[in-house]
Amino acid sequence: MTPGVGPYDESSECTVAARPGYQDLHTHCRQLWDLPLPFAFGILLQPRCGCSCHPYNSRGGTPTPPAR
């Protein structure tokens, strides 16, 4: 059994976007909100992305700018 995604884990798009040449993938991130399990209180199917490129994230840090 593998551990679940924590509240500050990054999406796969933002993880790859941290590598040189892939910075534009931050715009493809779809984990912008918590996705709850239907009919279950407090259980998440997918938590929102914890990357600092998102405006809702207050962890600080400098987001990686998109490649031009």
Residues 19-60 have pLDDT tens digits of 998 888 888 888 888 888 888 888 888 888 888 887 776 555
Could you state, in order of their start, the residue ranges of all structural domains in the chain? 1-61
Residue 17 has pLDDT above 50, yes or no: yes
What was the pLDDT predicted at 3? 52
Query: How many other CB atoms are there within 10 angstroms of residue 24's CB atom?
Result: 14
The CA-based angle 41-1-35, given to 5 degrees, is 30
13 or 58, higher pLDDT: 13
Residue 6 has pLDDT above 70, yes or no: no
What was the pLDDT predicted at 62? 47
